[in-house]
Amino acid sequence: MEDKKLIIFTAPSGAGKTTIVRHLLRVRSDLAFSISACTRSPRYGEVNGLDYYFLSADKFRSKIAEGDFLEWQMVYENQYYGTLRSEVERLWALGKHVVFDIDVKGAWEIKKQFKKKALSIFVKPPSFEELRDRLINRKTEDEKSLRKRIARVQEEMTYEHKFDVSLVNSELEVALKQAEELVDDFILEKIKVV
């Protein structure tokens, strides 16, 4: 569908991109969420086909070999994440603009492929210290995985300049309103991207 667009939200873990994406999906009926595939185990409350498509590492690698992914990353050793080409096609067939909540490398890959058809938004915290505190307060990881995630955050922050817009999430209500305006302006073609 030529008129359907992609809206890519990316950020280091804990910056608030998931909260922003969930808000947009509640307030806009013309958006649909691109469900990523991954090889990690589901976290408490996560549902296959709703939060992620949970695949075995072998199945994931098979889909890589078959060219089924728009993008994929080995985020941690033997832990893969990716966007299935069929997922975007499925959502476009429903007449929706596709929204992504995705890591920075995957976001960059999708932006490179879809160029002007995609708005890429880098969500950033007010400071690295604030982000570190958010990750610690989530209490979703043990000490070792938290250290790995914080190291990864430092690398991901260096990608900000690759995206169309940066959105600072220091006050959530302000960030939500700004995200709504950015998406509206992009869909109505009031802003152009490259």
Q: What is the dihedral of CA 140, 146, 148, 153, to 10 degrees?
A: 90
pLDDT for 1: 40
**What does pTM read for this prediction?**
0.86
Separation between Cα atoms, residue 120 and residue 164, nearest integer Å: 5
> Which domains does the chain show, CATH number per domain?
6-187 (3.40.50.300)
Average pLDDT over residues 24-41: 96
pLDDT tens-digit map of 39-58: 999 999 999 999 999 999 99
